[in-house]
């Protein structure tokens, strides 16, 4: 089995009945950490988990692995803990959900 790394993804979601978002929200942006062999697998895993949770993923943007992100700047302790959790559990960890509102 290939080595797995934790990928940082931001997923934009639309609305779906029963998604749990505030009534006035037009969607949400989720910060996720996903343990996967590569970014393509991370995207597939995140989308599958979010759909299973009743969300409507529309777009996914990748920000790299921990090593790639460290090369570009600092990664805080709280974020490292979430990345370690995703790695230990071989899971998708949704670290932050921000409701979006149309202007």
Full DSSP string of 31-66: EEEEEESSHHHHHHHHHHHHHHTT-EEEEEEEEEEH
CA distance 103 to 101: 6
How many CA atoms does the CB half-sphere of 65 hold within 13 Å? Answer: 14
Pairing verdict, β 5-14 and 27-36: antiparallel
Longest dimension (CA), the chain: 47
Residue by residue, pLDDT tens for the chain (103 residues) are 468 899 999 999 999 999 999 999 999 999 999 999 999 999 999 999 999 999 999 999 999 999 999 898 888 999 999 999 999 999 999 999 999 998 7
């Amino acid at each position: 089995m290939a080595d797995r790394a934790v990928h940082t993804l931001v997923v934009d979601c639309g609305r779906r009945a029963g998604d749990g978002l505030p009534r006035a929200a037009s969607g949400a942006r989720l910060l996720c950490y996903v343990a996967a062999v590569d970014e393509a697998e991370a995207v597939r895993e995140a989308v599958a988990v979010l759909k299973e949770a009743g969300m409507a993923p529309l777009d996914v943007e990748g920000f790299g692995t921990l090593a790639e992100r460290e090369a570009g700047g600092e990664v805080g302790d709280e974020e490292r803990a979430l990345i370690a959790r995703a790695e230990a559990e071989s899971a998708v960890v949704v670290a932050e959900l921000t409701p979006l509102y149309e202007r």
